[in-house]
Amino acid sequence: MKEVKDTDITHIPFEAGNISALKEWRLRVLKSDCPGCYGLCCVALHFSASEGFPLDKAPGKPCPHLMADFKCEVHDSLAARGYKGCIGFDCLGAGQRLTGVTFPSQSWRAAPKLSRPMFEAFVVMRHLYELLWYLSEALERCEGKRLRRALQEALIETDSLTFLDPEALVKIDVNALRAGANEFLIEVGEQVRGIYGNGKAAPQSVRQRLGRYADLAGVKLGAMNLKGANLRGAILIASDLSHSDLSGAELIGADLRDANLCGANLANALYLTQAQVNSAKGDRETQLPEILDRPVHWV
């Protein structure tokens, strides 16, 4: 396994206002690095058919495809075997953080006594990393000193929590933390969507259906101007967004499983994650934010 050093996992680079340093930090820290992890997501989490897995698996039980070296034996055929949930999962870097820093160089296989605390801490760390992801993007894109300061404080607080020891980590009230961050994320969402026109350029029939938690599963939204649209928590399963412009569209929590993103412009979409992109369909023409990787299964 690749060794993760303490120095690879640094605190957020404040000196705030240094957005290029923040971008560099996001690229380096908020990226999953499976060779630097002991396959935590393949053991700690629960699988079920409703989440895109062909089998049910209890949390804490290793997936039958996880090999002794912590690699996946069916990595190259996940989709064909029905493991869409694995393709669509991204720990954002929480896994290598746990195995490299919180439990340095200790695997759950070599030290079974540590399994339970490690898996419980992984679940919390994953939530913290998700918050870091959204807060750091919000800070990158927000306007105004008050909001910038509030986001900076929230980010520093969340970052410092990730350095806690396992006992303290599992006591974190993640819901309260999220609720506190949410008001800032919403405010930045309104700012960014406003800059891009709040989805007002979409056709009238579509405009009426846009909005928070909109159910747009299977809906044809292709080749449309969806700039600044509010798609917060929207259900976009198998919807057609091909060749649409989603600049400034807010996609936090949107379900993009099997959505068609071929040729779509998401380069400036807000709160888009690698997991959402991995679970969708796209191609070489799909434009993504710089921080996200083009999924290898896209043609």
Nearest residue (CB) to ligand SF4, 86 versus 138: 86
Minimum Å gap between C-beta 86 and ligand SF4 is 3
CB neighbours of 262 closer than 8 A, spacing ≥ 6?
Answer: 242, 243, 281, 282, 283, 285, 286
Which CB sits closer to ligand SF4, 24 or 73? 73
User: Rule CB under 6 A: is residue 86 a binding residue for ligand SF4?
Assistant: yes
- Minimum CB separation from ligand SF4 for residue 287, in Å? 28
Site size for ligand SF4 (CB under 6 A): 8
- Identified binder of ligand SF4 from the candidate list 1, 16, 74, 164, rule CB under 6 A: 74
In Å, the largest CA–CA distance within the chain is 60
Return the residue of 12, 30, 44, 83 that touches ligand SF4, per CB under 6 A: 83
Residues 162-221 that bind ligand SF4 (CB under 6 A): none
Map the footprint of ligand SF4 across residues 40-69, applying CB under 6 A.
42, 63, 65-66
83 vs 184, beta carbon nearer ligand SF4: 83
Tell me how far, at minimum, the Cβ of 42 lies from ligand SF4, in Å: 3
Kindly tell me which of 83 and 196 has the beta carbon lying closer to ligand SF4. Answer: 83
Closer to ligand SF4 at the Cβ: 63 or 246?
63
Q: Which is nearer to ligand SF4, 51 or 153 (CB)?
A: 51
Residue choice 72, 101, 156, 267 for contact with ligand SF4 (CB under 6 A)? 72
Binding site for ligand SF4 (CB under 6 A): 42, 63, 65-66, 72, 74, 83, 86
